[in-house]
Amino acid sequence: VRLVINEKGLLCEERDVSLPIAEYKEPWFMRLNLGEEVPVFIHGDTIRVQQYRELLDGLPMDAYTHGCILHPELTTDSMIPKYATAEIRRHLTNAASELMKLDHEEPTLTEPYLSKQKKLMCELWLCGPEFTLADVCLGALLHRLKFLGLSKKYWEDGSRPNLQSFFERVQKRYAFRKVLGDIHTTLLSAVLPNAFRMVKKKPPSFFGASFLMGSLGGMGYFAYWFLKKKYV
């Protein structure tokens, strides 16, 4: 949705909602949407709710995301840091029984990829020469799979060159770079704000605060070192 907004050059005010700390249960959010669904879009006096699953062609991306975190042996070159994986696993402990096994879900990707592959063989974008909502949805899906370490399994192994070419072209678009940025820093930009929000909601003890500040300092140094090495 943010990709579409930026593709169209629309003006909007954004407010991040932290899922790990259940910020969607806060009174201010409940007044917007009693169903606790994220994201929520407000246009004038109208509140519009759109679920992520609908934007990703009905594929169970939550299951893929959680599955890759719980079963890293199924991924290749995953970009999720170990410290983030440990934290996310802790949040998933109570819901682990509800997650579907990733190896049982993977076959559902085959047919969608094959149909999109045929489209990409004869057209610049999925629906023709113009970049449309269908391209936004596929681009967001491929970005998530790339981030989870599944890109080499599904297209970077050379089996779907047109799909790989499509993703490379999508990443060069201004809206994609603005919204998703460098895929290596996607999770880092989300973890730090959540950490500060957790401190604000539940102030830690002296020992906990010292440990947390040390961890945040280490994460900041890691980010500086990584970006300096990558771009300088």
**What is the distance between the alpha carbons of residues 142 and 154, in angstroms, rounded to a whole number?**
10
Read off the pTM: 0.46
Confidence of residue 41 (pLDDT cuts 50, 70, 90): confident
Confidence of residue 228 (pLDDT cuts 50, 70, 90): very low
Name the residue with tokens 């989870």. Answer: 148
48 pLDDT above the threshold of 60: no
Per-residue model confidence (pLDDT) at position 207 = 44
By CB atoms closer than 10 A (0-12, 13-18, 19+), residue 104 is exposed
Per-residue model confidence (pLDDT) at position 206 = 44
Candidate from 112-116, 120-124, 181-185, 186-190 with smallest mean pLDDT: 186-190
Is residue 8 domain-shared with residue 23, that is, in the same domain? yes
Q: What is the CATH number of the domain that holds 35?
A: 3.40.30.10
Asked, for residue 36, whether it belongs to a domain, the answer is: yes
Rounded to an integer, the average pLDDT of 148-167 is 87
Per-residue model confidence (pLDDT) at position 24 = 73
What domain count does the chain have? 3
**What is the distance between the alpha carbons of residues 155 and 212, in angstroms, rounded to a whole number?**
39
**What is the distance between the alpha carbons of residues 174 and 181, in angstroms, rounded to a whole number?**
10
Is residue 122 domain-shared with residue 225, that is, in the same domain? no
Asked, for residue 186, whether it belongs to a domain, the answer is: no
Confidence of residue 53 (pLDDT cuts 50, 70, 90): very low
Q: Is residue 59 within 8 Å of residue 140, measured between CB atoms?
A: no
pLDDT tens column, 169-204:
999 998 888 888 765 555 555 555 555 555 555 554
Q: Which domain holds residue 207?
A: 191-231
Q: What percent of the chain is predicted at pLDDT more than 90? A: 1
3-class DSSP state of 158: coil
What average pLDDT does the chain have?
68
Per-residue model confidence (pLDDT) at position 10 = 83
Q: What is the CATH number of the domain that holds 97?
A: 1.20.1050
The residue with greater pLDDT, 116 or 24, is 24
Is residue 150 domain-shared with residue 211, that is, in the same domain? no
Is residue 45 domain-shared with residue 61, that is, in the same domain? no
Per-residue model confidence (pLDDT) at position 27 = 78
Is residue 108 domain-shared with residue 147, that is, in the same domain? yes
**What is the distance between the alpha carbons of residues 119 and 163, in angstroms, rounded to a whole number?**
9
